[in-house]
A and B are shown apart, each in its own frame.
Chain A
């Protein structure tokens, strides 16, 4: 069991957590993730470690509520418990002093890119950060990015904030302006990552993306997370999750990520329904988590 020390929304459906996990906090490196199970009967889901403190023994997670498990997690508050947290998993980001590094985050991808941006800055890179969202309130972690990056460019699809357009247009603008770029890290929805790869490809800029296939164990045991990179089948949980953006088969990734769409929709609907008409199933699940502890903070359903 892992206690939640802090929980607050950064944007609608995007929540920041500090969770007790002393061993993982000591070990984690940028680019690694954990597998989380929220309840004793729950699904195992991968979440990137967004930060942590080895002395205080906690890690940070930033979670976008897209389906049942992430919404359930996002309904928890400080003082609640999470059943299982395993990690740190995956290969750490390859950090070097590349020169000028552009870190691109789309939506919750900004959270996943954030620890690597910190590491790139610490390694001496000039860090340019482009963080995008559909609309103003979906641009997250701008202040945090400003603390580490030398330049930060928020972008919104609807023009409600920052640069009006996609992150790729901003990147193209920088390239067109003759800015020297040595390295690009792009994390966000698959179409965004693919588009970034196409922008940098003609310029031969080394580009890395973090892939988000469906995982089960996260330790190399099931092969469910397999992706094709450079024509080879690799396991994202042990060989990645970061890969050369110019070599990834994005169509395959998108297809495989839709494998359980009907099931996921049904689960989410059920969950949302249970959330509105009582007796709330969510509360029962959380009660199970707390081990029936009556003093624990009441869940916000």
Chain B
């Protein structure tokens, strides 16, 4: 069994690196880029942890995983124990370990990071989860008692899945309704295989099935069945809405409806969910082989789109972003990987108009340079156009990745669930309670586009509150409803 070296020596261990597919190889396939840490390396990396008494890293994690404890378990080679510790707080570790913006959360506050590079908490979380999966996850223990209460979960993204897990463990009967034909939300239709293998999402969902959770795909709540019906004729005692932020925003500039201008959602859905990258797929995606691709935006979605286009054979792939490097919201790792793969970053640049040919296909985009002005309400410096800096570049495919608005389907058929003026659902942060008795909400539909871990955390908090509500029958209106309107 390995042990922690003395603190002085621990500080001398450099941050280990993640083995990955070489850039030139990986841009020709859709397989995962990061290959995972070998055991020795993982132990070595975990040994870098100083085992802080009041660990800052835990505060940085939105679900407060007991990071110091699971790192210690890795060092002591008690990997099952490490998995158990993580799963107390995070039911989707193989996913979060891969996609969390660690540098903004756990790793940002890690004390080792003050004088060097932080402990690679995300990679180690992934290591533990992968190891458990490869060894064969033990079947979940069935709940000790059945409550006879029924909960409907709407949406099978991270918010819905984590809410379902906790409620099923507490013995409630849980049914998850999903609009699409596959389960997982953005985890399956948005985030590409090369970053998050779908096999992992499937394994998580199989675990839920074993817990007795039922899934109904192709069911659009609000249309196929309304919330009212769920709570009356369908016999549910509570409903959780985890319907995500699904409605893509466009730039609102001339030429935007030309052929060859996709929302990131459409482009990624065609490729990931409908498998358009496969030669025998029935769903097409426009051919980008040897063509010029421009992706607008600087978030994870933009990185996923631009890297997907390279894998589909694009000759050149650009990120066009109106702010600077520092403001790009994507995970550092994605930006670094994109650079290695040959993505060109055109920063401080904004599109003004698209132009097309007689067949309606996009042929070029006119861009304008920007400079950073005063900070805006988000605290980021506002980009200001530089007059006279306009120029035009040829493109064959554009992907717009500037965010999503909440999907209005539920609001249209359910009157007594209050929405904000941005279209998000009004819900209490600590409990997910909406303005309608028995209905809870969490994830992107409440916060607007955010992260997997935040959606998961919201799902879990709502599960606790739903359990409480089902046990006590006590309902309080959400705090926010009284303050906002």
Of the candidate stretches B198-206, B243-251, B426-434, B462-470, the one touching chain A is B243-251
Instruction: Annotate B174-206 by CB proximity to A: 1 below 8 A, 0 otherwise.
Output: 000001110000000100000000000000000
Cβ A256 vs Cβ B246 within 8 A: no
Of the candidate stretches B111-119, B266-274, B293-301, B310-318, the one touching chain A is B266-274
Nearest 4 pairs between A and B by C-beta? A255-B360, A86-B218, A222-B266, A43-B282
- A59 CB to closest chain B CB, in angstroms? 12
* B: interface residue count bin: 35 or more
Cα(A224)–Cα(B458), bound, Å: 30
Interface centre among A37, A42, A44, A223 (most CB of B within 10 A): A223
Instruction: Name the one of A83, A221, A263, A264 contacting B248, with C-beta atoms under 8 angstroms.
Output: A221
> Given the known A-B contacts A87-B220, A87-B224, A256-B259, are A221 and B407 also in contact in the complex, defined by CB atoms under 8 Å?
yes
The chain B residue with its CB closest to the CB of A259 is B259
Instruction: Annotate B339-351 by CB proximity to A: 1 below 8 A, 0 otherwise.
Output: 0000000000000
* A-B contact sample (8 more), CB < 8 A, given A221-B246, A221-B269: A44-B181, A84-B181, A88-B224, A89-B220, A219-B220, A221-B248, A223-B247, A258-B259
Chain B residue contacts of A228, Cβ below 8 A: 257
Cα(A264)–Cα(B282), bound, Å: 9
Instruction: Name the one of B218, B225, B260, B286 contacting A85, with C-beta atoms under 8 angstroms.
Output: B218
- B268 CB to closest chain A CB, in angstroms? 9
Cα(A233)–Cα(B260), bound, Å: 16
A297 interface hit (Cβ, 8 Å): no
Instruction: Annotate B244-288 by CB proximity to A: 1 below 8 A, 0 otherwise.
Output: 001110100000110110110110011000110000011110100
Chain B residue contacts of A219, Cβ below 8 A: 179-180, 220, 246, 407, 409
Instruction: Name the one of B181, B257, B284 contacting A226, with C-beta atoms under 8 angstroms.
Output: B257
- A90 CB to closest chain B CB, in angstroms? 9
Chain B residue contacts of A224, Cβ below 8 A: 262-263, 266
B51 interface hit (Cβ, 8 Å): no
- A88 CB to closest chain B CB, in angstroms? 6
26 A-B contacts (beta carbon < 8 Å)? A23-B224, A27-B224, A41-B282, A43-B283, A68-B282, A84-B217, A86-B179, A88-B224, A217-B180, A219-B179, A219-B409, A220-B247, A220-B409, A221-B246, A221-B248, A222-B266, A223-B263, A223-B266, A226-B250, A233-B250, A233-B257, A255-B359, A258-B359, A258-B360, A259-B286, A267-B282
Cβ B259 vs Cβ A222 within 8 A: no
Chain A residue contacts of B408, Cβ below 8 A: 220, 238
Instruction: Annotate B195-237 by CB proximity to A: 1 below 8 A, 0 otherwise.
Output: 0000000000000000000000111100111000000000000
Cβ B223 vs Cβ A252 within 8 A: no
Chain A residue contacts of B248, Cβ below 8 A: 221-223
A interface list, Cβ under 8 A from B? 23-24, 27, 35, 37, 41-44, 68-69, 83-89, 216-217, 219-224, 226, 228, 233, 235, 238, 252, 255-256, 258-260, 263-264, 267
- A89 CB to closest chain B CB, in angstroms? 6
Instruction: Annotate B9-32 by CB proximity to A: 1 below 8 A, 0 otherwise.
Output: 000000000000000000000000
Cα(A24)–Cα(B219), bound, Å: 9
Chain B residue contacts of A37, Cβ below 8 A: 181
- B397 CB to closest chain A CB, in angstroms? 11
Cα(A87)–Cα(B221), bound, Å: 10
Chain B residue contacts of A83, Cβ below 8 A: 181
Cβ B224 vs Cβ A264 within 8 A: no
Instruction: Name the one of A41, A68, A223 contacting B265, with C-beta atoms under 8 angstroms.
Output: A223
> Given the known A-B contacts A223-B250, A252-B257, A252-B360, are A216 and B223 also in contact in the complex, defined by CB atoms under 8 Å?
no
Instruction: Name the one of B223, B263, B265, B282 contacting A87, with C-beta atoms under 8 angstroms.
Output: B223
- B99 CB to closest chain A CB, in angstroms? 19
